[in-house]
Amino acid sequence: MADSDAPLIQLRRIIKTFGEGPTAFQALKGVDLEIAAGDFIAVMGPSGSGKSTTMNILGCLDVPTSGEFLFKGVHVEKLERDQRALLRRKYLGFVFQGFNLLARTSALENVELPLLYRGDPKAQRREAAMAALDKVGLKNWWDHTPAELSGGQQQRVAIARAIVTNPDVLLADEPTGNLDSERSVEIMELLTDLNKNSGITVLMVTHEPDMAAFARTIIHFKDGLVERIETGHHQGERVE
């Protein structure tokens, strides 16, 4: 593996083009970015700025047209699809705006899913899923289905499912987009806690400045490039 002082993630001159010929659209125009292990990053920018395309590349859900993407020193852009899937399964967790929970399934079974796909034994899955639910404050709700949970609780279950594999990086796409302001703050406090106490690197896309204020670093995208980076935020110092 690479030098331990190296950034966890490096993007070098990342270009992403959709389509070909005269209708081709360049979504990313040479993005350079370094992300340190343990950082909490909010990614902001208007629609079409390139932030979602960048997150898809960082999440190994898409590949750049050109440029280099290093994760722990490994050139991800050179990996085969199966290798990227393995990297995603081992190191990354995902949280979405729509909670993406299975409707007729208990919180515990929803959280177990990634471990089921991984082939972990049942007893091991149960133990890990209960521990993840405990981390998000829902241990006593393990047998409830999504319909029996509030929006905030459903998002907590989704976060438990994302962290049950002990990922290095949590990618959150508008995680508070479907929640009221009070629940949104609860979810941001939970992500902050996971970042500080579990050492998970958090990458979050958000349109909301008061949610971004929970992050340590804010990356602003514009027209397919990183426009500016704000660092040194005091986490949780929200702008009222």
For the chain, what are the domain ranges?
9-230
pLDDT at position 133 over 50: yes
CATH of domain 9-230: 3.40.50.300
Task: Give 84-117 pLDDT, tens digit per residue.
Answer: 999 998 999 999 888 889 999 999 999 999 999 8
Average pLDDT over residues 197-224: 95
Q: Are strands 225-230 and 66-71 parallel, antiparallel or unpaired?
A: unpaired
The set of long-range contacts for 154-157, using a CB threshold of 8 Å and a minimum separation of 24, is 154/99, 154/101, 155/95, 155/99, 155/179, 155/183, 155/187, 156/187, 156/190, 157/99, 157/101, 157/107, 157/110, 157/111, 157/133
DSSP state of 50: S
pTM summary value: 0.90
Q: How many Å apart are CA 95 and CA 73, to the nearest integer?
A: 25
Structure tokens at 54: 């960048």
DSSP string, 194-233: HHHHH--EEEEE-S-HHHHTTSSEEEEEETTEEEEEE---
